Amino acid sequence: MEMRLQKYLAECGIASRRKCEEYIIQGKVEVNGKIVTELGTKIDFEKDKIKFNNKEIKPEKKHVYILLNKPIGYVTTADDQFGRDTVLDLVKVKERVVPVGRLDMYTSGALILTNDGDFVYKVTHPKHEITKTYTVTVRGIIENDAVEKLRNGVEIEDYKTRPAKVKILKTDEEKNISRLEITIHEGKNRQVRKMCEAVGSKVVALHRSKIGDIGVKDLKLGTWRYLKDFEVKKILK
């Protein structure tokens, strides 16, 4: 049965399709003993022998879905070139799982890991509009006009963010901070931090509380659990 090489790699739990495309370009993938760097290459996984980093790979037989409450100080990657602690140091399972999307090193909260390449694609692709909800603490007392700008979309570098749900949870004049809840559909690099900076507010703490309707309120930082079948379906609805 034929399949695009990057999709096959994702099905094997190597990484998201986009990341697998990078691995192909970098020459880390072999098909029948030959390095392949051309995107879109089709393989017959029933006949061809596929290797990643010199190790033969095969699709995972059982898909697992893990919800982690990520602490600050861990990078969201399977392997870090600088030797920093990664989220996989917190999740010890026999399956080869990868993070679904990213949280930067200084952001805590909800992160899903899985060996289901199609799930990774559906959750991370903007067209599926999976919501992500953040609790954001910013320096200063935020003004209502700044909140309206965040709701309507702000200019960040070379794009304008889509409308977001934003509400003020708390303001503390003594500590000179404001706490907001921001829900977005996108997932661009450091997006929430950049959105707040665009309205003159510096983020001092950032926590992702929910992915879709699945939250980490009952999970201690650094701990994880398996998602139930109905939760996986709920995220993809």
Q: Which residues are catalytic?
A: 104
CB 222 within 8 A of CB 69: yes
Q: Element (H or E) spanning 156, and its range?
A: strand 155-156
CB 209 within 8 A of CB 216: yes
Half-sphere exposure (Cβ direction) of 29: Cα atoms closer than 13 Å:
29
Bridge partners for 177 per DSSP: 139, 172
Residues 81 and 77: their CA atoms lie apart, in Å, by: 10
Residue count of the chain:
237
Nearest to 134 by CA among 103, 158, 155: 103
What does each C-alpha distance from 196 to 72, 128, 136, 169 come to in angstroms? 19, 24, 9, 15
